[in-house]
Amino acid sequence: MDDSLFSELTQSVKEAGSIKRGEKKPSREFAFAAPDVKAIRKKTGLSQSRFSQLLGVSIKTLQNWEQGRRHPQGPARVLLTVFRSNPNAVTSALGDAHLTH
């Protein structure tokens, strides 16, 4: 690695440390709104129990999401986003057996 690249990398690491310690503001931030889990579930017409089974999470987790105490992360968030925009994609991928009432 040439000296200029190493110097740039070192400066970046120092800047990251300053941001983490609150000494400096980040140059940009990204915020993504949490999906409205309750609205998505109600749109499906499924009970909390069935919807939690579909998502592969416990009913308590689903209730925490719906009541805003916690927010879905990772794959669950992605699945909810897909479900919101294209519920047929989810039901097709998982099979109708997952959605029988």
For 24-69, write each residue's pLDDT tens digit.
998 888 877 889 999 999 988 889 998 998 888 999 999 999 999 9
Q: Which residue in 59, 75, 60, 68 sits closest to 39, CA to CA? A: 68
Cα–Cα distance for residue pair 96/31, rounded to 1 Å: 34
> Model-level pTM?
0.63
Q: Which residue in 47, 51, 46 sits closest to 72, CA to CA? A: 51
For 70-100, write each residue's pLDDT tens digit.
999 999 999 999 989 888 888 788 765 555 5
